[in-house]
Structure 1
Amino acid sequence: MEKELELIKRQLAREKAGRQRAEDLLETKSRMLYELNQQLSSTLESLKAHEIQLVQQEKLASIGQLAAGVAHEINTPAGFTMCNLEVLQQYVLSLLNYQDSLKKSAGIVPSDVQALDAQFNIDMLRKDIPDLLEETLEGMNRIAAIVRELRSFARQGEDEKQWVNIDHLLKETLHLAAGQIKYHVEVITDFSIKKDLYCSPGKLSQVFLNLILNAGQAIEGRGHLWVSSYETQDKAVITFRDDGIGMDEQNKQKVFDAFFTTKPAGKGTGLGLSISMDIINQHNGSITVESTLGEGTEFVIELPIIAKSEDDA
Structure 2
Amino acid sequence: MTRAPDGDAAAQAAEWYARLRADDADATDRAAADRWRRADAAHDEAAARLDALDADLSSLADDPALAALRAEARGGAVRPPVQRWPFLATAAALLAVVGTGTLLSRRDDLAPIHTHATAGPARYATAVGEQRRIRLPDGSVMTLDAASAVAVPAQREERRVELLAGRAAFAVAKDRAHPFVVATGDNSVTAVGTHFTVERGVDGAMTVALTEGVVRVATPRGTRTLAAGQVLATTPRSLAVADHRADDAAGWQDGRLTFAATPLADVATALQRYDTRRIVIRDAALAAHPFSGSLRTRGGTDALVAALEAYGTARATHPDARTIVLTPR
> TM-score of the superposition, structure 2-length normalised?
0.24
Larger radius of gyration between Structure 1 and Structure 2? 1
> TM-score of the superposition, structure 1-length normalised?
0.25
More strand by share: 2
More helix by share: 1
